[in-house]
Amino acid sequence: MPQMSPLSWLTLFFYFLIIFMIFNSMNFYSFLYQTKKSSTLKKKININWKW
C-alpha cells in the first residue's frame, strides 16, 4: 500500500537516530583520558622581571 510508505520511512529514521545516538554515547564514554593534574601542580611558574 503506497499510503503506508511514510510510516516505514519514519520508523527507519527513528531507528537510525536511536542507533546513531547509542553509538555516539558509547564512543564518547568508552575512553578514559588521563588527567595531568599531578604534573601541573608540581610546576611553579617563576617569572623574574628585569626592569
CA gap 45, 51 in Å, rounded: 19
What is the structure's pLDDT at 34? 76
Structure confidence at residue 2 (pLDDT): 63
Length of the chain in residues, anyone?
51
Distance, CA of 21 to CA of 28 (rounded, Å): 10
Return the percent helix, strand and coil in the chain, to nearest 5: 65, 0, 35
| pLDDT value, residue 48 | 79
Measured in Å, how far apart are the chain's first and last C-alpha atoms?
86
pLDDT tens readout for residues 2-48: 666 777 888 999 999 999 999 999 998 887 777 766 555 556 677 77
Q: Which pLDDT belongs to residue 20?
A: 97
pLDDT of residue 23: 96
| Grid cell digits, residue 23 | 553509538
